[in-house]
């Protein structure tokens, strides 16, 4: 593992270095019988990532590198050369104060279509905007939402599900028509999501040429999905109007993937 870290430390592609460190951390968690290897790996990652005037911005590189250092410390084999304080948030990085806009990516749509569609989204000429991200954007870059700008306090930061749930509890607490419209919008989103899930499941089993289980709910057809989408959008528009939001403002709704997931960057 130390040789692997050292070999790839100078590669000018942060994603490659990130995946190397992720693999090393995964292997190190199972390495109980060779403490010297873990000690050397932590030293190498210290030199490659943290022992520099300014630690790089790449959040996942820092995260996996820190994991190796923390694991060595937890097992009592951290070399004294490693300053564990510099391997913990907020590190010694300058803050990211700006982020590219969609307009910045437009010139790259044609010349770098594959990476732009995967990381940023597929550009729709008809809609004039980027739509659904590909695998890299949805499965890798989306993990950045688990990182927080504020230093970690004595209690874990709230999960996305907790934040969204608290928002809607606050809306319900307004009472009256606003609360009624909020319940309508939440129900409409839930029903649509369940119908869409049934449709996707049916498509999946159809692709495998395998019948779904006998107790599986009847999949929604396209007409039903379109009707539920219209009801969802109408309910969403009504509650935004009641809250004084504009039609382009976006509300976050509870989803199947945002329950009980703790912050990625733990202390």
List residues bridging with 130 in a β-sheet.
123
* Domain co-membership, 26 together with 51: yes
**Domain contains 225:** yes
User: Which residue matches tokens 């803050």?
Assistant: 95
**Domain contains 45:** yes
Reported as half-sphere exposure (CB side, CA atoms, 13 A), residue 267 has a value of: 17
**Domain contains 256:** no
Nearest alpha-carbon partner for 144 in 61, 59, 62, 87: 59
Output 123-131 pairs: Cβ under 8 A, ≥24 positions apart: 129/102, 130/102, 130/105
pLDDT in tens, 97-156: 777 777 888 888 888 878 888 778 777 777 777 777 777 777 777 666 555 555 556 776
User: Which residue matches tokens 């990516």?
Assistant: 105
**Domain contains 125:** yes
**Domain contains 205:** yes
Output 183-189 pairs: Cβ under 8 A, ≥24 positions apart: 184/235, 184/238, 184/239, 185/232, 185/235, 185/236, 185/238, 185/239, 185/251, 185/253, 186/253, 186/254, 187/235, 188/228, 188/231, 188/232, 188/234, 188/235, 188/236, 189/232, 189/235, 189/236, 189/253, 189/254
* Domain co-membership, 141 together with 169: no
* Domain co-membership, 70 together with 113: no
**Domain contains 265:** no
**Domain contains 94:** no
**Prediction pTM value:** 0.55
* Domain co-membership, 82 together with 110: no
pLDDT at 262: 41
* Domain co-membership, 114 together with 69: no
Residue 228 has pLDDT above 50, yes or no: yes
Domain ranges, residue 65: 2-87
**Domain contains 39:** yes
Total tally of structural domains belonging to the chain: 3
Tokens of 184: 């309508």
pLDDT at 220: 58
């Amino acid at each position: 593992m130390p040789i692997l870290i050292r070999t790839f430390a100078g590669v000018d592609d942060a994603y490659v270095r990130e995946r190397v460190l992720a693999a090393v951390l995964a292997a190190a968690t199972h390495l109980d019988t060779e403490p010297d290897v873990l000690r050397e790996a932590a030293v190498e990652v210290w030199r490659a990532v943290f022992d520099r005037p300014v630690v790089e911005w790449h959040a996942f590189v820092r995260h996996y590198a820190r994991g190796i250092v923390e694991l060595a410390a937890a097992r009592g084999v951290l070399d004294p050369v490693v300053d564990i304080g510099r391997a913990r948030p907020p590190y010694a990085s300058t803050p990211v104060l700006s982020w590219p806009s969609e307009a910045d990516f437009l010139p790259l749509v044609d010349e770098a279509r594959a990476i732009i569609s995967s990381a940023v989204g597929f550009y729709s000429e008809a809609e004039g905007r980027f739509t659904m991200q590909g695998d890299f954007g949805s499965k890798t870059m989306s993990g950045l939402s688990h990182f927080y700008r504020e230093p970690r306090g004595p209690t874990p930061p709230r999960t996305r599900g907790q934040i969204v749930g608290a928002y809607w509890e606050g809306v319900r607490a307004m009472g009256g028509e606003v609360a009624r419209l909020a319940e309508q919008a939440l129900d409409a989103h839930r029903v649509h999501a369940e119908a869409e899930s049934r449709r996707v499941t049916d498509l999946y089993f159809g692709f495998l040429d395998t019948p779904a289980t006998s107790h599986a709910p009847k999949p929604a057809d396209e007409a039903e999905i379109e009707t539920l989408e219209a009801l969802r959008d109408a309910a969403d528009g009504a509650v935004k109007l009641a809250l004084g939001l504009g039609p382009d403002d976006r509300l976050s709704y509870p989803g199947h993937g945002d329950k009980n997931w703790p912050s990625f960057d733990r202390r």
